[in-house]
Amino acid sequence: WGINYYSRTVLSWWLQPACMPTEVMTDMYYPIYPEGMYRAIKRSARYGIPMYITETGIADSRDDRRTLFIDAYFKEVLRALADGYDVRGFYYWTLTDNFEWATGFTMKFGLYAWEPDGSVDRKLKEGARALVRLYRTLPDGLAALRAVARKAQGTLGPDLGVEEELSREGYIYVSGQDGKQRIRGEKVEEKGVAIGVAALG
């Protein structure tokens, strides 16, 4: 079972993409919303077959949000593994900056920078180093990975520290029509780095 997940969609009253003014946005006009990854896995588990995150990534031309995105989203995958969900792999979109159907070469999803005019040729982005760190830190194999995730739950709590991490990044909870949601506050006094797991597709 394949899951393509990037974020949630929020529409304004005239059915245009919208968000809270303080949310951390990607260049593609959707917010960084990691808890939706866990929800997508949980909902897909009802089919009773192994799951793969077949696509997720961030358009980030400034490369100043990619590390946060990778770490926060992979913590949710680790959380799902620790809770017993059968997630077998994760594919990041994409290896190099690419041509997007609706926006051409303007959206920079790649782990490696690339420009069609040849001015930049496959240079590893700083934000992509989060994946390098994860590859070096986390074990191979589903059973070993699940054991690490469960141990992390014992240390960091059921959500593997996602709440604490996003709180350090300046996120706050607000009440909405669909219960509570997390938005980014205006003041961020402390920065932190989360841990996660990845497999590059």
Number of domains within the chain = 1
192 domain residue, yes or no = no
Mean pLDDT is lowest, of 102-106, 154-158, 182-186, for 182-186
The structure tokens listed for 103 are: 């926006």
pLDDT at position 138 over 80: yes
Q: Which residue has the higher pLDDT, 176 or 102?
A: 102
Residue 37 lies in a domain: yes
pLDDT at 195: 30
The answer to the question of residue 47 being in a domain is: yes
pLDDT at res. 19: 64
Among residues 2, 62, 61, 6, the alpha carbon closest in space to that of 34 is found at 6
Does position 66 have pLDDT exceeding 50, yes or no?
yes
162 is a domain residue? yes
Is residue 45 in some structural domain? yes
Average pLDDT, the chain: 80
Find out whether 108 and 97 touch, Cβ atoms under 8 Å.
Answer: yes
DSSP helix/strand/coil, 140: coil
pLDDT at residue 174 in the model:
40
Whole-number percent of the chain with pLDDT over 70: 72
DSSP class per residue in 76-103: HHHHHHHTT--EEEEEES-SB---BTTT
Q: Which residue has the tokens 């949000």?
A: 65
On whether residue 150 sits in a domain, the answer given is yes
**pLDDT band with cut points at 50, 70 and 90 for residue 185:** very low
Output 11 or 94, whichever has higher pLDDT: 94
Query: Which residues touch 108 (CB under 8 Å, ≥6 apart)?
Result: 27, 59, 60, 61, 63, 97
Percent of the chain with pLDDT over 90: 47
pLDDT at 103: 94
For residue range 67-99, list pLDDT tens digits in order: 999 999 998 999 999 999 999 998 999 999 999
Residue 100 belongs to a domain: yes
Confidence of residue 176 (pLDDT cuts 50, 70, 90): very low
- The CATH number of whichever domain residue 85 belongs to comes to 3.20.20.80
- The three-class DSSP label of residue 35 is helix
Q: Range of 21's domain?
A: 2-184
Instruction: Determine, yes or no, domain membership for 196.
Output: no
